[in-house]
Structure 1
Amino acid sequence: MNADATPAPALTPEPAPSPTSGTKRGDTRTKLLEGALRTLTEQGIARTSARTIATAAGVNQALVFYHFGSVDELLGAACHHGAEQRVSRYRDRLAAVTSLGELLAFGREMHAEERAAGQVAVLGQMLAGAQTQPRLADAARRGLQLWIDEIEQVLARVLTGSPIADLTDTPGLARAVAASFVGLELYEGVDQEGAGHALDALEQLAVLASVLDELGPLAQRAVRRRLRHTGRN
């Protein structure tokens, strides 16, 4: 993609604002955001341009530059827009999670839904573009941060009272969980069976955490002492 090298087409001055002009501008922006996501899914980052996005959105190519300034800015906004939509879709289900096992079970279900919806393809293309384009890297980071924030809230809730809570860096663990699922989503594209085994292994760790939570008070104190001692060493 050579988005920044594309000159912005001349624009015809817009007519005076009408009561519905704000709504129309919002509709056009939304069409462009969704058109950008659809183009990434169907054609990949290398073939994403103002022309292909405008075609997918059903609008004039000049409107890409009018609303966003450049293709990279549009892609960055689309990444954040898509992440907001997906996080909003799953927020209630995340709020209902009460254990690490439930979190991983949710992750497996979400993974299947996201792949079916084409979101894994969007993520893969954005990460590919982010390797060489700093603005896309920043947009991808901000999009992933929306997921990390939600996961961190769940972890803080489900780890409360657990023997491992005292030694757990919850913000760091939230990033590790998000990074694991990003990696698994991309890995599944080349080794579906291997990705399934990896998810199974994560669920086994959740079972271990559940066993620790079910220990009696004396046993939990012993585990905490042992974990603290191991952490210091």
Structure 2
Amino acid sequence: MPDDARGAGTRRRLVEATMTTIRTHGIAKVSARTIATTGGLNQALVFYHFGSVDALVAEACLVSTAERVASFEERLDDVNGLADLVRLAQDLHAQEKQLGNVTILGQVLAGSQTNPALAEVTGKALSLWTERIQQVLTVVLADSPLGEALDPALLAELVSAAFIGIELVEPTRPDEGGSVAALDRLVPLAQALDDLGPLARRAVRSALRPR
């Protein structure tokens, strides 16, 4: 195997081991030793390939988030209205929970409170979702009666913040309802807005237009 291919393979194993370590042991237990043990590698490889544990965690966050965004690219491109976007959020939540990424998100955000370097990279990782959602909202709102009243960039930030809040609060709920059930209740509202006829759309736009 060529050295560059071998190195890329090792970096990938370290990234995957880092995410598994966070998911299993929490951000507080992340170290070169725990990552190496999880990945079955020599801990010196952490420093050889990344220079520091923080740099490896940063790479892991960015790579894993970019891959998750990419996995939803086709669905994001096919969003045709607010109701579609809410349904996509439902599917995204279900998959992230199943993969254990909700746990990782909570751990990384917790670590960001006291680690400026981790906070910076977490912000960059979350922006990958926010920027992609903004692109979708720009298209959706262009044909929505809410288009003149809502700024896609601001709404994307609010959507991302709300989704993160749902993800982090859900483990405190005693059942499968609670915050996540709010997404179910949003579908009929979003569908009703999508289905408004021309006259109703003009009336909504007029009512929401800044005075």
TM-score by length of 1: 0.85
Of 47, 52, 69, which aligns to 1:65? 47
Residue in 1 that maps onto 2:111? 129
Residue in 1 that maps onto 2:145? 163
Of 201, 204, 208, which aligns to 1:220? 201
Change over 3 Å in CA distance of 1:141–1:205 after alignment to 2: farther
1:43 matched to 2:25? The reply is: yes
Q: Distance in 2 between matches of 1:39 and 1:55?
A: 9
Which amino acid is the alignment partner of residue 227 of structure 1? L
Deviation of residue 44 (structure 1)?
0.4
1:34-61, Cα deviation, whole Å (9 max, x unpaired): 1100000011011111100011122110
Deviation of residue 223 (structure 1)?
2.4
* Structure 2 gaps, min length 5: none
Q: Distance in 2 between matches of 1:144 and 1:137?
A: 10
3-state SS of 2:72 partner: helix
3-state SS of 1:98 partner: coil
Q: Distance in 2 between matches of 1:226 and 1:68?
A: 55
- Identity over aligned residues, as a percent? 44
Q: Distance in 2 between matches of 1:168 and 1:83?
A: 27
* Structure 1 gaps, min length 5: 1-18
Deviation of residue 220 (structure 1)?
2.8
Point out the more displaced range, 118-127 or 189-198: 189-198
TM-score by length of 2: 0.93
Of 178, 181, 193, which aligns to 1:197? 181
The structure that has the greater radius of gyration is: 1
Select the structure with the greater relative contact order (CA < 8 A; seq sep ≥ 6): 2
Deviation of residue 172 (structure 1)?
0.9
How many residues align? The count is 209
1:27 matched to 2:9? The reply is: yes
1:60-115, Cα deviation, whole Å (9 max, x unpaired): 10111111111111111100011011111111111111011111111111111111
Q: Distance in 2 between matches of 1:73 and 1:23?
A: 21
1:182 matched to 2:164? The reply is: yes
Deviation of residue 204 (structure 1)?
4.3
3-state SS of 2:148 partner: helix
Q: Distance in 1 between matches of 2:38 and 2:143?
A: 50
Question: Where do 4+ consecutive residues of structure 1 move more than 6 Å?
Answer: none
Point out the more displaced range, 191-200 or 25-34: 191-200
Point out the more displaced range, 186-195 or 196-205: 196-205
Q: Distance in 1 between matches of 2:139 and 2:39?
A: 41
RMSD: 1.5
